[in-house]
Structure 1
Amino acid sequence: MAEPGERDDWDAVARAIQNRLDETRSTQMEIASRARVSLTTLRELQHNLNPRRRRPQTLSAVSEALGWPAGYLVQVLHGEAAEPHADESADPVLTSLSGLEQEIRALRARVDQIERQLADGDA
């Protein structure tokens, strides 16, 4: 039988925080301030440094500071399907941004391919 906390996925929490910071273009300082946690605590969570049991209030505060429901990061930690706010998942602006991000990734891949072909032709 697994000990409490044994299956916690702190790497998933770190990825979720990093992705959200990238999405929102927020700084660590802004989020730490909104969550009322130390910058060190946020950095530890974001980079999975010193993984250890955290107070649920800490993860809730960081979740809310990132614009998620309070239990979001706890769900991520436990490997549960975490859902953003309902209005966020239906937001047409966020949907458009997501589509634009996909198109930009596809364009980058095409440019990289063209650059490789040109470099091969020069060699």
Structure 2
Amino acid sequence: MTEAAEASGEGWDSVAEAIRNRMAETRMTQLDIASRARLSLTTVRELQHNLNPRRRRPQTLAAVSEALGWPPDYLATVLRGDRPTPHADEAGDPILQAIDHLGLEIRELRDRVEQIERQLAPEDATP
């Protein structure tokens, strides 16, 4: 992801979603994360809900990642649009593997539908 895309808020939605999902999985609160990461509650709230997308210090994302039980670079990887290395307990989870497989199939189907739509578009156009 480019720095412009990062600054404009693209990628921060993914970071917020990752944080929300992990909080639900671990049943952690914003206060738990803020305390473990030694950050303000406002910072955690902004990240969780993508309230103020802006460049953050790498240490901030690393602290939140670690507070959530992830490797330090996890959220930075999500922000860049890359696929983060799963945490050890996630790597062998058959349910997560099945979800990843379904996601891949959905993306492939979406690509096929878009290709078909592009092929049919000239036929539907009125002169």
Could you state the TM-score of these two structures normalised by the residue count of structure 1? Answer: 0.68
| Identity fraction in percent | 63
**CA-CA distance at 1:3 after TM superposition:** 5.8
Q: Which runs of 4+ in 1 moved over 6 A?
A: none
Aligned residue in 1 for 2:81: 79
Aligned residue in 2 for 1:36: 38
Structure 1: which amino acid aligns with 2:47?
L
**CA-CA distance at 1:88 after TM superposition:** 3.8
Aligned residue in 1 for 2:54: 52
Aligned length, in residue pairs: 94
Following the alignment from structure 1 to structure 2, what is the Cα–Cα distance between the partners of residues 37 and 82? 23
Q: Deviations over 1:25-84 (max 9, x none)?
A: 111100110001100000000000011000000000000000000000000000001122
Secondary structure of the residue aligned to 2:50 is coil
Following the alignment from structure 1 to structure 2, what is the Cα–Cα distance between the partners of residues 5 and 70? 23
Change (3 A) 1:3 1:9: closer
Aligned residue in 2 for 1:11: 13
Aligned residue in 2 for 1:62: 64
Structure 2: which amino acid aligns with 1:12?
S
Higher mean C-alpha deviation, range 51-60 or range 80-89: 80-89
Secondary structure of the residue aligned to 2:33 is helix
Following the alignment from structure 2 to structure 1, what is the Cα–Cα distance between the partners of residues 13 and 65? 16
Higher mean C-alpha deviation, range 34-43 or range 2-11: 2-11
- Root-mean-square deviation (Å): 2.2
Structure 1 residues without counterparts, runs of 5 or longer: 103-123
Give the structure with the larger helix fraction: 2
Following the alignment from structure 2 to structure 1, what is the Cα–Cα distance between the partners of residues 82 and 61? 15
Aligned residue in 1 for 2:22: 20
